[in-house]
Structure 1
Amino acid sequence: MIKQPSEWYQTSSETVSELEANLSQKEAKKYRLKWLKTVLYQMDNFGQSCEDCSMFRHALTACLKTLKNKPVAKGDEESYFNTLNGIVIHLQSKHKLTPPGENMGIWLALGLAIGAGLGYVLNNMATGVTIGLVTGLVIGGILDIAARKQGRGI
């Protein structure tokens, strides 16, 4: 059964679409509006059963209203980014969701470390680091794609 989006989600999505239309490309990228739609979707999924998500929904609604005001005050920007960071931390810790590229970054670092060790053993650092880099990128990419397909992506 497909869950119908809530009225909050529809209203918030429309607000984000209006902001995308009214703000410059640079500002839209700064406020991460395209990614925000995914965050809204995930919050809508968990909002009915999670009290924290419900509180974050109200805070995010207030922040989106203040972003519509031109010019945006420095304090309002800070509040928006703090709220967004709090939401992402909550979604990661309580609902086990992963932000884009998280697995890629972790496995890239692990692959480089293992590759450096392999390069030392082989007496050829360039080959070892290259093998580690490629391995880390492949494993991290596969895990990121799997998380997105399973609906665990933010």
Structure 2
Amino acid sequence: MIKTINKLKINLNEKEVKKLNLDLLEKLYKKLKTFSNDCKECSDYLNRLEKHIQFLEENQYSLTKDIYKRNDELINDITTHLREGHNIIQEDYYTGIYTALGISIGSGLGVSIGLLIFDNIGLGIPIGTGLGTSIGLVIGANMDKKVKEEGRVI
């Protein structure tokens, strides 16, 4: 299957490779392979993924929106199972979550800071948002580093 994915990477143009997310498909295939003996769902997803990769190879010169949609749905299903069933996450997963959380909390705090300290919301919001974003990035990056060291990243 890895050979087939690599052939697709060669035969398709860069835009199609990116749209099909072939690098992620390869990583998912490898992760599913490691869990397929112990997890029935992983084994089922591995079979689905193998059939899908063969389908992509057969239809590589006539890719449609429906094929891209099916590809994205399969990737989503597999990554959801790996995250919920095996605590395996995608790269920078926590950074994205904690940055967004930091922005929202920081904006709220910025309103309070602006009103209490500056008597002007317009001055407090950028300060709070900047602080929240920074703190969220640090927390998320540290958590991502930890799971990467544990080998729990796709």
TM normalised by structure 2 equals 0.84
Deviation at 1:112, TM superposition (A): 1.3
Counterparts of 1:75 and 1:49, CA distance in 2:
32
Pick from 15, 22, 27: which aligns with 2:11?
Answer: 22
Alpha carbons 1:66, 1:76 under 8 Å: kept: no
Distance 2:105 2:70 in 1: 40
Q: Identity of aligned pairs, percent? A: 30
Assess, with a 3 A threshold, how the Cα gap between structure 1 residues 71 and 135 changes in structure 2: closer, same or farther.
same
- Structure 2's unaligned 5+ residue stretches are 115-123
Unaligned runs of 5+ in 1: 1-11
Matched, 1:106 2:112: no
- Kept in 2, the 8 Å contact 1:16–1:37? The answer is yes
User: What SS is found at the alignment partner of 1:151?
Assistant: coil
Count of residues paired in the alignment:
143
- Name 2:146's counterpart in structure 1: 146
CA contact (8 A) 2:83 2:89 kept: yes
* Contact preservation (8 Å) 1:112, 1:132: yes
| Offset from partner CA, 1:96-137 (integer Å, 9 cap, x none) | 111223211210122112212332232222111111111111
Counterparts in 2 of 1:87 and 1:122: CA distance versus 1, 3 Å: same
Report the CA distance shift for 1:53/1:132 in structure 2 as closer, same or farther (over 3 A): same
Q: Report matched runs for 1:4-23 at 5 Å.
A: 12-23=1-12
User: Could you say which residue in structure 2 is the equivalent of 1:91?
Assistant: 82
Aligned to 1:33: 22
**Conserved? CA contact 2:19–2:68, under 8 Å:** no
Distance 1:133 1:74 in 2: 36
**Separation in structure 2 between the aligned mates of residue 80 and residue 122 of structure 1, nearest angstrom:** 46
- The answer as to whether partners of 2:102 and 2:133 remain within 8 angstroms in 1 is yes
User: Which of structures 1 and 2 has the bigger CA Rg?
Assistant: 2
- Provide the rounded CA distance (Å) in 1 between the counterparts of 2:66 and 2:72: 10
d(CA) in 2 for partners of 1:74 and 1:135? 39
Q: Judge conservation of contact 1:60–1:80 (CA < 8 Å) in 2.
A: no
Give how far 1:79 is off. Answer: 3.1
SS at the partner of 1:100? coil
